[in-house]
Amino acid sequence: MRTGDPQAPGPSAETLVRAMAGTIPTRGRGAARFRDVGLLLAVVLLAAVTAVRSPHFATAANLQRIMLDISLLLIVATGQTMVVLTRNIDLSVGSVLGLSGIAVGFLLKDHPAMPVTGILLLGTGLGLILGAVNGALVAWGRVPAVIATLGTLTVYRGLVFIHSGGQQVNPQDIPLQLVAIARPGALGVPVMVVMAFVIAALGWLLLRYTRTGRAMYAIGSNPDAARMRGVQAGRIVFLTYLISGALAGLAGVLYAARFATVNPASAGVAFELQAVAATVIGGTSILGGRGGVPGTFLGALLLGTIANALAVSGVSGFWQRAIEGAIILAAVAVDSLIRQHSFKEGARRV
Amino acid sequence: MAHDGRTTEGLRTRGLTKSFGGPPVVRDVDIDLRPAEVHAIVGENGAGKSTLLKLLAGVHQPDAGEVIVDGNAVAVTSPTVARSLGISLIFQEPTLFPDLTVAENIFMGRHPVTARLPMVRWRTMLSRAAALMESIGARIDPARPVGELSVAEQQLVEIATALSHRARFVLMDEPTASLTPREVDRLFAIIRDLKARGASVVFVNHRLEEVFAIADRITVMRDGAKVGTWAAGELSRDEVVKRMVGRELGRSPERPHVQPGEVALEVEDLTAPGRFRGVSLSVRRGEIVAMAGLVGAGRTEVARALFGIDSFERGTVKLNGQAVRFRSPREALRAGLAYLPEDRQHQGLIQALTVAQNMTLTILGELSRGGWLDRRREQELARRQVERLQVKTPSVNSAVQNLSGGNQQKVLVGKFLIARPKVLILDEPTRGVDVGAKAEIHRLIVDLAAQGMAVLVISSDLPEVLALADRVIVMRAGQVAGELSRDEATEESIMRLAVGTGPTAGGRKAL
């Protein structure tokens, strides 16, 4: 992956990133902003190179495909960002997505006339319940987040198979009114894409402009200090899992709309890795306390573009996985370097 | 001393007591804090000063006793409650959010929000933070992340936070421990300003020169209890030291004078900026040298540098006459230098492993043949150490976590003895062990020296230092404040060097 040329960050790109990140930086120092600019440049560069090399990339249909992929990822990664900011992680989102998709798919087989809003709310509600289980385990059961959500990842996937009996949901079972939200609507933009942007924007507002959102940063940055300041860490961590679960549940319905099939063995499988990758690549520290939705948006944009670029260039899906993994490792390493660098001055003085 | 209890302004405690399972750390303490005063609390390490502050600030709950603010008994059940009562505690190590800005650190949980929607008003928050920082004369950009600030600057952020809560009782736990003299001056100016505004500032400190520079009244604590409170003018430094130490001054010569052998460890001008400076010392074979000083004087830091855990900038270290500079503990152990860390839970022992496994950890290379561990030799060596040290354990195959603190400490000693070191550095070898185990560990240390080992003991326990040491090196603020022979060493003479009342060898300009 290209992380951008140190010479290159032009004023226009920087202005754009600053506009997205808001005018007031939480920690807007050089290194972090450089990463944002680098990400954006990487996307632009990748798109340019692929467009030149493959005639299938810069077509309207393909760009729309990228947007739909990114939307799905962005919705789930927005929830993941909040969880990771509190120094936790939600590995169950892929299974939540799968379970929600299967559940509404089977429901639609019997009740094809259900209104779209109802379907979306059902999926979201199911995700909310599954997220509440995660939240209760982590916030009050004191189970380490990795273990708790790795466990529910497996349990929820098991439920997917039990509920579906191994059967997949077929295109004829998905009513057209649902499929329509993944098709170009007014102004040629699918409703699903609009939804993703609205959700990301709301997530950004929550994190930047509410006391609850700021408390998420506080918990991740220094849990002890947060407790001393009267931040109710348990409740807030629980809330992040609720949000993450609900958004993954919503994404399950959107998945059904987008692909019109839901296969219990593949829907949402390994999607948690993509969500965590988008979050971490976007600069949200895996140790919590810093980052945010704008970065995650860039991370999702990059991942979506890479996956698509590899696909249209005829690279196998297996390679995509390997490349994705390598990018996560690079992102975590960069984060750790930035952290060491920027805190050395202050913290090293005994 | 305290008034007749009819004071309605200020904060008083009555019979405040707290223990953490063991003997009380704070015992039946009555203190009173008056408006517009600086009240210093002094005492040896472990006298209960910090715990007392934490009780007042709601970090811990007292087992007995009460806190009375403005004449009303209050229950300080959490730091939040404390703050609402106007009590703010500033920790020795700032407890802040390193990733967040100065402004947010000040206003966390109380961000200014817009009237209609609860949206954080960043601009308002930043300008309020700027005003607060300016009111204490600190020139720090409120938009900077706190993690980038120095410890002194972080402390200023904590003080600004206390001010933003309109704190009337500002409790500071060793606020000057990591500050430079200039930063201390600035802090004192702020403290005087707080006092002028009517606040009551409580100031826990080891350094008596600082205490006398700023305090109106001084409370001395010893072994968890209050010895007394005096106006600063009523006491001399020596009198304060005497009251801090309190016990029968003098010593019981438990250990015969020994004739030490050649120099085993020689350190000259060892310096690591910010940690210690110009440290020179030597330990001979068969000799026990104690390193005394207050917590934070840089003793552990010196030991860690010698052992190759941390680096140092300059200076020479000679082991048996040969210049050495260890880059890792492994190298140090191979060359015959062993260091027993203070925090055995985390640094010394692996709790889930067995006694034998822990003891042989450093010599696994010797114990294995062709990559396979010789289990029989492992067991045998461990059994020998267990016998020698009289470790009370069901067998060498019991997990270390099942042993008592004193026995764990013996296992740790065994682990290092098994590597047959020439020089042994022990860091607070008896902290947290009971009296019986303590005596055994002392006997063991004396035995080791008698067998020709050079022993350096870091200890804050003055009776222990006096019982063991042939010589005492006292550190203060990262430097050697002085060296005392066995005959010169008394609790008082050591304490005097440690807190800096006597003639100073360099003072504390270094830090």
**Higher pLDDT pick, A148 / A30:** A148
Tokens describing residue B187: 């802090």
Residue B104 has pLDDT above 70, yes or no: yes
Distance CA B301, CA B14 (A): 39
ipTM: 0.81
**Higher pLDDT pick, A344 / B405:** B405
Query: Contact at 8 Å (CB) between B472 and B444?
Result: no
The CA-based diameter of chain A, rounded to the nearest angstrom, is 68
Distance CA B270, CA B267 (A): 7
pLDDT bin (cut points 50, 70, 90) of residue B253 is very low
| Average pLDDT of the segment spanning B396-400 | 86
Residue B346 carries which DSSP code? I
Distance CA A84, CA A6 (A): 28
Residue A250 has pLDDT above 90, yes or no: yes
- What is the residue whose two structure tokens read 């195959």? B397
A26 CB neighbours in chain B (<8 A) are 99-101, 104, 145
Domains and CATH numbers, chain A: 16-349 (1.10.3470)
Residue A344 has pLDDT above 60, yes or no: no
Least confident of A229-233, B123-127, B246-250, B384-388: B246-250
Query: Contact at 8 Å (CB) between A303 and A281?
Result: yes
Distance from CA of A207 to the nearest CA of B (A): 10
A306, B42, B149, B224 from B173: Cα distances, Å: 53, 11, 20, 16
**Cβ pair B145:A26 closer than 8 A:** yes
B454 three-state secondary structure: strand
Distance CA B217, CA B33 (A): 10
Residue A137 carries which DSSP code? I
Work out the percent of chain A whose per-residue pLDDT is above 90: 49
Q: Is the dihedral of CA B208, B212, B214, B217 positive or negative?
A: positive
Chain B interface residues (partner A, CB cutoff 8 A): 59, 78-80, 83, 95-101, 104, 108-109, 111, 113, 118-120, 122-123, 126, 143, 145-151, 153-154, 178, 274-275, 301
Query: Contact at 8 Å (CB) between B293 and B499?
Result: no
The radius of gyration computed from the CA coordinates of chain A, to the nearest angstrom, equals: 20
**Higher pLDDT pick, B456 / B243:** B456
What residues contact residue B204 under an 8 Å CB cut-off, 6+ apart?
B40, B41, B42, B49, B50, B53, B171, B172, B173, B174
The radius of gyration computed from the CA coordinates of chain B, to the nearest angstrom, equals: 25
Chain A interface residues (partner B, CB cutoff 8 A): 24-29, 205, 208-211, 214-215, 217-218, 220-222, 224-231, 285, 289-290, 342-343, 345-350
Tokens describing residue A225: 């200090």
How high does pLDDT run on average in chain B?
A: 84
Give tens-digit pLDDT for B426-461.
988 877 666 666 777 888 888 888 888 999 999 888
Burial (CB count <10 Å: 0-12, 13-18, 19+), residue A326: exposed
The values of phi and psi at residue B80, to 5°, are: -65, -45
Q: What is the pTM of this model?
A: 0.73
Distance CA A257, CA A259 (A): 6
Count of beta carbons in the 10 Å neighbourhood of residue A298? 25
Residue A242 has pLDDT above 90, yes or no: yes
Distance CA A195, CA A191 (A): 6
Residue B65 has pLDDT above 50, yes or no: yes
